[in-house]
């Protein structure tokens, strides 16, 4: 990460503008225990109270890293019932990084956000249809399968 992804100009711009970055050594106590760290790199998105919402383990390319951070920020906002903020970052992820590994989960969460903010089931079914069409082998397509039965 330190040789390839962190020096990338787009990564620097994204992290600087959107997040508070902190690096801890793999033996930093009590945090390694608190966050159950077993391998490095482990990269975690926390909200502004320090609560975890998303994590990845292992190397990510600059594009995959930014997509993963967008997903993490969106998941934090989703967990805090800030659906409009979550939808904004999910849309950015899907527009700019549609081929990323984070994209299928983003579509799934986007559907749930749409439902929870409107109580209309159409976004759930739309999420399944998009997943089925664009990511038919994704685990998130399987998880969304029940939404195919919605009217």
Give contact residues for another protein (rule: CB under 8 A). 1-2, 6-7, 9, 11-13, 15-16, 18-26, 28, 31-32, 35, 37, 40-50, 53, 69, 72-73, 76
Tell me which residue of 72, 74, 76, 70 sits closest to 96, measured CA to CA.
Answer: 70
- Cβ atoms of 53 and 70 closer than 8 Å: no
Minimum distance of another protein from residue 19's CB (angstroms):
4
Identity of the residue, 53 or 125, whose beta carbon is nearer to another protein in the bound complex: 53
| Greatest CA separation for the chain | 52
Identity of the residue, 26 or 148, whose beta carbon is nearer to another protein in the bound complex: 26
φ, ψ (nearest 5 deg) of residue 121? -75, -5
Minimum distance of another protein from residue 103's CB (angstroms):
20
58: number of Cβ within 10 Å:
10
Minimum distance of another protein from residue 127's CB (angstroms):
24
């Amino acid at each position: 990460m330190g040789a390839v992804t962190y020096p990338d100009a787009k990564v620097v711009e994204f992290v600087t503008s959107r997040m508070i970055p902190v690096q801890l050594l793999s033996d930093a106590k009590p945090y390694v225990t608190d966050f159950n760290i077993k391998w490095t790199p482990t990269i975690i998105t926390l909200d502004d109270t320090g609560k975890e919402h998303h994590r990845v383990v292992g190397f990510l390319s600059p594009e995959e890293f930014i997509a993963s951070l967008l997903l993490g920020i969106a998941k934090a906002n989703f967990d805090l019932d800030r659906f409009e903020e979550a939808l904004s970052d999910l849309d950015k992820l899907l527009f700019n990084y549609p081929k990323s590994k984070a994209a299928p989960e983003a579509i799934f969460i986007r559907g749930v956000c749409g439902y929870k903010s409107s109580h209309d089931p159409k976004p759930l079914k739309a999420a399944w249809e998009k997943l089925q069409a664009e990511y038919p082998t994704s685990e998130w397509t399987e998880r969304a399968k029940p939404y195919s039965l919605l009217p």
